[in-house]
Amino acid sequence: MAETSSRTGTPIRTEGSYRQIWDAFAPAGRARLLFALGPDGTPEAALFLVRAGTRVVEPYGGMTRAGAASRANYLLKWEAIRSSREAGGTSYDMWGLVNPGIRQFKEGFGGRDIRLIGAFDLDLRPAAARLYRLAERYCGPRRSMAGATAAQPADGTGSE
């Protein structure tokens, strides 16, 4: 994820945020990590999948420069679709278009663009929420484990 973020300028989350999603879905067998390895065994691409019923969602994925050159992500994407279907999945959601170059890739798999309204925050503790937004404004953006700016709130297009 760090290498993909650095190469494409896409946002990255903290390690803890990925772990929270894993911890929420994995105990019930509803999360998977898939890796494409190069000839020497080095990871070249990865996908993080979560499942809700028969719908499989791919909220995160990335590849190294070597993975981009070898097209490891194509092999991995097909394996994710194949194995999800084999496990009973009937819908595979590639999750979004974080940069223009990803559109052609995802359309090549039969994907279609679905526009969403985005996400909104419901402040259950308004005073704490105001304090948090104030701190964000004056302390700068959060930093991720790789030093890239943490992801911004959802804009309705999802993430890679």
* 60 membership: H or E segment, kind and range: strand 55-63
* Average pLDDT of span 123-137: 84
* 83 membership: H or E segment, kind and range: helix 72-86
At residue 85, the pLDDT reads: 94
CA 102/CA 2 separation, integer angstroms: 17
At residue 99, the pLDDT reads: 60
pTM: 0.66
At residue 146, the pLDDT reads: 37
What pLDDT digit, counting tens, does each position of 74-83 carry? 899 899 999 9
Domains of the chain, earliest start first: 2-139 (3.40.630.30)
CA 59/CA 48 separation, integer angstroms: 7
What pLDDT digit, counting tens, does each position of 43-71 carry? 999 999 999 999 999 999 989 999 989 99
Distances 114 to 33, 77, 103 between C-alpha atoms, Å: 25, 19, 12
